[in-house]
Structure 1
């Protein structure tokens, strides 16, 4: 058994998920099912890297406060990061990375926060040196490659999140090459959207997720899968001249949602 919460290589973590998830999808009972990735925080980063590893395999992703960029509010000073990189191969497992209390920053509801703090299965020490640096490098890599994301996705983020930066979720939505992409930002909500908010907020979050998935779930045949592996480039045909419309002329749908008395901003983009 390895050291708890020690990530020697983020690539190996993604490879493990890739092999396991594919082995499940290949089982007879799941072959006709849609394949969606779901990731929260660091799991959102894993989901995006799984998509990059095999872009045609997945049918979509739900990304909840994804770790596309670690907030400057919890990131160590650049000088500290520089010093830590000098010793990461010498003391990779040491719990010495200075960070703020993530539980205090992530979970808004005080009762739920205390329950989480008392849960002995949740890692609450300082991050191990190699783990922290791998997470930082991964988030920087994802931030620099947002334009290469091209699967359907729904990204959800609390606007008051101080753990992962909601602005990078905006950037993901704006830069991604995906034809079908949706973003919803929740005013006043923190990082732990599905576990740290009041119950009514959590219910609204899952309602939004289930609605998005229901609209895109379907049964697949082997022929469908083969066609997806070699998709024709999509085009929006301009009815006036029969040609492909410029990007700025393509229709976009915007929806406004209401969440617990607060206006939630939802943007949806899909090729018609």
Structure 2
């Protein structure tokens, strides 16, 4: 999920509120990013006024903040990019939607396998995940591919709007199927990696393509929205009715997701600079589609058959770790593993203390290494 403090949201450029506290936070961040452009407060004030409801505004803001992002004092922005080929693309898909995508590939060798990333609600593949986990996977020999969903990040569409979760899944399937069909990659093992809502996207893709993937890594997957994030039943029915009339309106209440998701307070403050994430109240149709999707997935957990690694913080209050345990128990896959991290929150790769982030990364890479070797061995045996 995109995680930015509700307090910070009030000062964000998305909503045009008066800045009452952001400048003091920026002053504190000067020591954190001395070579970045934090001294250009005039530019930051200008960026706060940019309308990012549509993709051109989001792209402009992202381009202007690249230097600041790369100099944030976060362990996952400290990996050198030497030896990695990166590529950014904008391509119009079969529905006529312009999709932003990015890839990270080992420069000196063929990838050992492909990892296709599905980001969380409101998020993008161009901030935390751009500078950290994706790069580290590429340094471990994997070809990593990511895309922004329509309406999120740098892809075309109204910000934060999901008119149909099934169409969103279809867009992701199309993009990654086209990528996997490339002769350069078609013989390689391929893994889905879904974080939060991206876990739901990954599971939906698997259920539609049960034999197309070597395995999946699910990080705090959104198999069910935590009970305290769901409106009371009466209000929920009212919101469902309103969604048919005012689908794009932002009327759904939401708790402070950055506080709920980031255990490390210093890292939580860095979410301020993820300006192109969607941090407003969920749009009505978006909220209804997410609720409907999680209800569908809950009923299909026993149909999950591919090798899966499930990682979840035991203190996660955004997505329910007990449902991850239920997924682990019900999935019919004979190859499944779950790791529950004591005291960890929702954002395992962005918002935890450094030692926990490194532990989670190690668990992911170790599992991918083992399953890539198994897939290679199976391919050799059947030849």
How does the TM-score come out when normalised to structure 2? 0.57
Q: Report whether the alignment pairs 1:178 with 2:355.
A: no
Question: 1:220: how far off?
Answer: 6.7
Specify which of 67, 72, 89 is matched with residue 222 of structure 2: 67
Name the counterpart of 1:20: 175
Q: CA deviation at 1:219?
A: 8.7
2: CA distance, partners of 1:73 / 1:186:
21
2:303 to 143, 148, 163: 148
How far apart are the structure 2 equivalents of 1:32 and 1:198? 38
The answer as to 2:190 corresponding to 1:35 is yes
User: Mapping of 1:131-142 within 5 angstroms?
Assistant: 131-142=286-297
Give how far 1:5 is off.
1.0
Shift of 1:136: 0.8
- 5+ residue gaps in structure 2? 1-155
Cα drift, residue 118 of structure 1: 3.6
Q: CA deviation at 1:200?
A: 1.1
CA contact (8 A) 1:34 1:219 kept: no
Cα RMSD after superposing both structures: 1.7
Instruction: Give 1:95 shift.
Output: 0.8
User: Residues 1-272 of structure 1 correspond to what in structure 2 (within 5 A)?
Assistant: 1-218=156-373, 224=379
Flag as ranges the 4+ runs of structure 1 deviating above 2 A: 218-221
Q: How many pairs does the alignment contain?
A: 225
Shift in Å, 1:199: 1.1
Deviation of 1:77 after TM superposition, in Å, equals 1.2
Contact 2:220/2:311 (8 A) holds in 1: yes
TM-score normalised by structure 1 residue count: 0.80
Native 8 Å contact 2:214 2:375 kept in 1: no
Distance 2:257 2:284 in 1: 16
Q: For the residues of structure 2 that align with 1:157 and 1:212, how far apart are their CA atoms?
A: 15
- In 2, the alpha carbon distance for the partners of 1:220 and 1:61 equals 13
Question: Could you tell me whether the CA contact under 8 Å between 1:35 and 1:58 is conserved in 2?
Answer: yes
Give the whole-Å Cα distance in 2 for the aligned partners of 1:91 and 1:218.
Answer: 50
Q: Distance in 2 between matches of 1:172 and 1:5?
A: 27
Matching residue of 2:79: none
* Deviation, structure 1 residue 117: 2.9
Secondary structure class of the residue paired with 1:63? strand
Equivalents in 2 of 1:193, 1:106: separation in Å? 8
Q: Greater RCO between the two (CA within 8 Å, min separation 6)?
A: 1
